[in-house]
């Protein structure tokens, strides 16, 4: 297959990355997946994709890019927990900044033409920004996680100028859906769903009135594929523009799972912003992207997938 159909997906055994790899394989691309399996699962990798169990900070990852020479890099691998980044800013920077630089340096050497980067919109703008926030609003990240994402966006522009590499950064809202892990500290829908289905009590951090813009995973994937075909560079918000508070998410997931007890309340998380929603007008105009799955349908699909996964467990 020609280089024009050859793509590398980092984090392709994880949540958004594996769904993206599935769609790319189905579209006829030759796909390689790079994932160290720290949070991803090898069974998420499409059978038709080539799998490389390397860390993005490793020499092996850089050598893979230089030798395989994909046309484009879709970069989803990351440390995704805001609270972890607050506790360990150095570790977060090592993964999210230095790991990205390792990939980008090798991509420049390999003549990679396009980079689609999974940035953050949910944590990028801070509490001073309006909701929904636009890309023209100041980026004032309040956590090391979001600071790292913004830094990589700037590095991408640098590499784009210096190496004729076309970068597209997708500032995702709070993505949820099947394959998201409920075992960590990020992903409230996955965490609540797993807890409720197991008969356990999830914890709402703070009063639960903090809002998020919840985006179903297939809509996130659709944006990545449109960004891959988009001829230019750019930064795009990818969200629904709708705010939903955590109390509402907890109540609806309790109903959908048939759980008997409500969520408990615990102390708020450090570095967590109060409100978040994204205006995606720029993505609609340039990419032709709009969300297709509303929150009610997305939650139903998510609970059904988690219930099926639980039923299949030995």
Enumerate the active-site residues.
Answer: 145
Residue pointed to by tokens 């523009």: 241
Parallel, antiparallel or unpaired: strands 211-212 and 166-172: unpaired
State the DSSP H helix or E strand holding residue 33, giving kind and residue range, or none if neither: strand 30-34
Q: Using CB atoms within 10 Å of the CB of residue 112, give its burial: 0 to 12 exposed, 13 to 18 middle, 19+ buried.
A: buried
Residue with tokens 């949820």: 176
- Helices 217-229 and 15-26: crossing angle in degrees, nearest 10, is 60
Q: Is the dihedral of CA 263, 260, 174, 114 positive or negative?
A: positive
Task: Identify the H or E element spanning 22.
Answer: helix 15-26
Helix (H, G, I), strand (E, B) or coil at 193: helix
Three-state secondary structure call for residue 75: strand
CB 60 within 8 A of CB 8: no
């Amino acid at each position: 297959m020609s280089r024009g159909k050859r793509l590398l997906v980092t984090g392709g055994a994880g949540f958004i990355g594996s769904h993206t790899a599935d769609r790319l394989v189905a579209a006829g691309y030759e796909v390689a997946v790079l994932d160290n399996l720290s949070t991803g699962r090898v069974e998420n990798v499409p059978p038709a994709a080539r799998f490389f169990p390397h860390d993005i900070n490793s020499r092996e990852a850089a050598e893979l890019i230089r030798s395989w020479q994909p046309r484009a890099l879709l970069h989803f691998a990351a440390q995704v927990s805001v609270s972890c980044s607050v506790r360990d800013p150095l570790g977060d920077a090592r993964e999210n900044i230095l790991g990205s630089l390792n990939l980008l340096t090798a991509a420049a050497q390999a003549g990679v033409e396009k980079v689609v980067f999974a940035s953050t919109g949910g944590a990028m703008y801070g509490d001073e920004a309006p909701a929904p926030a636009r890309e023209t609003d100041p980026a004032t990240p309040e956590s090391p996680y979001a600071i790292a994402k913004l830094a990589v966006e700037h590095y991408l522009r640098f590499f784009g100028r210096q190496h004729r590499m076309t970068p597209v950064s997708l500032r995702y809202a709070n993505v949820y859906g099947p394959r998201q892990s409920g075992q960590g500290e990020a992903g409230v829908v996955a965490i609540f769903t797993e807890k409720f289905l197991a008969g356990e009590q999830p914890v709402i951090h703070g009063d639960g009135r903090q809002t998020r813009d919840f985006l179903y995973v297939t809509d996130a994937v659709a944006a990545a594929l449109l960004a891959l075909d988009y001829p230019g560079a750019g930064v795009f918000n990818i969200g629904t523009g709708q705010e939903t508070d955590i109390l509402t998410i907890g109540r609806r997931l309790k109903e959908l799972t048939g759980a008997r007890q409500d969520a408990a309340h615990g102390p708020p998380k450090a570095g967590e912003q109060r409100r978040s929603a994204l205006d995606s007008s720029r993505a609609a105009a340039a990419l032709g992207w709009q969300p297709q799955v509303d929150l009610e349908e997305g939650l139903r699909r998510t609970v059904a997938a988690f219930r099926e996964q639980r039923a299949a467990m030995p």
